[in-house]
Structure 1
């Protein structure tokens, strides 16, 4: 399934849109990861936690869990602003994506068009597993761009 290759690229591969998320996160200075460079905007660490949270939620939905807010919340807050906390945030993001890819690789090609447990309230329909994963790929790219810009401050 081509979307598995696309999530791999967005996470840690040759992404069409530019650097993949892990490259961008790895280049962030730990001291600046927790800074709020723009008033009322999220810090890089908060965006990374948000990415992890939604990666875990999409993985759970692909495994049959009903759609809900991620267990850790939509925008979890960092547990501290030390360098070790930043390293853990990056590590947890990597683990979440590795698990997602493992689950995706176990899904048979003919299962990707099956409806997921994710309901689109605007259309009152379930989206397919492929649409769910594609949404996360777009989510990774969107936030990768934000992190890349914030890291320039």
Structure 2
């Protein structure tokens, strides 16, 4: 299913319909602003970027037929440090996670896109999510958080 792979590619670093792709949005953030909490009780840009990376890695894991779970890094990881080098690593890790996902998507056969992910919780609830729906959800997730980052970077 080339179209769904194209959607995640566009959201990550392509010609996104909604505006700047996530990599462009992240690259426009100044390191000194990445860790700031501009809005009380809201996440910093760095925390959002780490969240995006966590879920990108989890989606890749699920597409590799691993059982769905919380991301290995956690849902909302905390930055290990708040330096320009730490910000560069956060962006780099996000880039690598997305490149790995896109590489894996290229290996998925067309008939596999309609297969349901292995998710014990959703099966128990009677919900069924296909690989295509999972990847589509991640593209939407990227767009949503890219918008948040764009707004926060204006502070």
Shared fold per TM-score greater than 0.5 = yes
TM-superposed CA distance for 1:125, in Å, is: 2.2
The structure carrying a bigger helix percent of its residues is 2
- Please list every run of 5 or more consecutive structure 1 residues that lacks an aligned counterpart in the other structure: none
TM-superposed CA distance for 1:78, in Å, is: 0.3
Q: How does 1:26-105 map to 2 (within 5 A)?
A: 26-105=27-106
- Structure 2 distance, partners of 1:122, 1:50, is 26
Give the TM-score normalised by structure 2.
0.95
TM-superposed CA distance for 1:110, in Å, is: 1.2
- The aligned counterpart of 1:124 is 126
The structure carrying a bigger strand percent of its residues is 1
Provide the aligned length of Structure 1 versus Structure 2: 153
Q: CA separation of 1:152/1:122 partners in 2, compared to 1, >3 Å: closer, same or farther?
A: farther
Deviating above 2 A after TM superposition, structure 1's stretches of 4 or more consecutive aligned residues are: 118-123
- Structure 2 distance, partners of 1:120, 1:5, is 27
Query: Do the aligned residues in 2 keep the contact of 1:116 with 1:127 (CA within 8 Å)?
Result: yes
Give the TM-score normalised by structure 1.
0.97
Kindly report the root-mean-square deviation, in angstroms, between the aligned alpha carbons of the 2 structures. Answer: 1.3
